[in-house]
Amino acid sequence: MKHLYFVRHAEPDHSWKDDRTRPLSPAGLSDRGEVTRALHGIAIDRFVSSPYKRTMDTIRESADEHSIQIVTDERLRERQCGVIPNTREMLHKRWQDFDFHEVGGESLRTTQRHNIEAVHELLKTGCDSESIVVGTHGTALSTILNHFDSAYRFENYWRMIDFMPYIIRLDFEGAVCIGREEILIVEKPYDVHGMP
């Protein structure tokens, strides 16, 4: 059985405009210690991450504790945002139509496709029994959860929007998800006009 520990990043600095290089806020830097504590004592075999700074920085302490280098995968990146600002209504619209995207933005289906490609590769490679930490984002993670459970919809995403950092473990036999468990929830008020 494989265990994938999906770690949504800690609170980012929303004043930083560049999505890829956006750092963690001071609170986020502090809260990444919660991730390290939650993963302490678990025999982790691999750390993989979105290449975005906030995701790597959220899991870096834990990777260092386990003496494992973080491997980045571009396919694990967050949804590309377009010109329309995030509002609850816009987020809901995307969940109603997975193919909808604003000008310059990416649909949830496209986000799901590239993230699931990366997840399936993780499931096919390495040992049949291993534990992998995956540094991820709110929208990206939600599309992954939706892929393995079609009942996961907007309401579930909206519940998770304030969880930074957040860890959920998915358990797999082959490519089939047979269980999941929330490991860590740190609630932080989310600025809906910022980035998920």
Which pTM was predicted?
Answer: 0.94
Q: Write down all domains in the chain, each with its CATH number in brackets.
A: 2-187 (3.40.50.1240)
At 57-71, the pLDDT tens digits run: 999 999 999 999 999
pLDDT in tens, 136-190: 999 999 999 999 999 999 999 999 999 999 999 999 999 999 999 999 999 988 7
The torsion angles phi and psi of 159, rounded to 5 degrees, stand at: -65, -40
Tokens representing 78 are 């967050």
Q: Are 28 and 12 in contact (CB under 8 A)?
A: yes
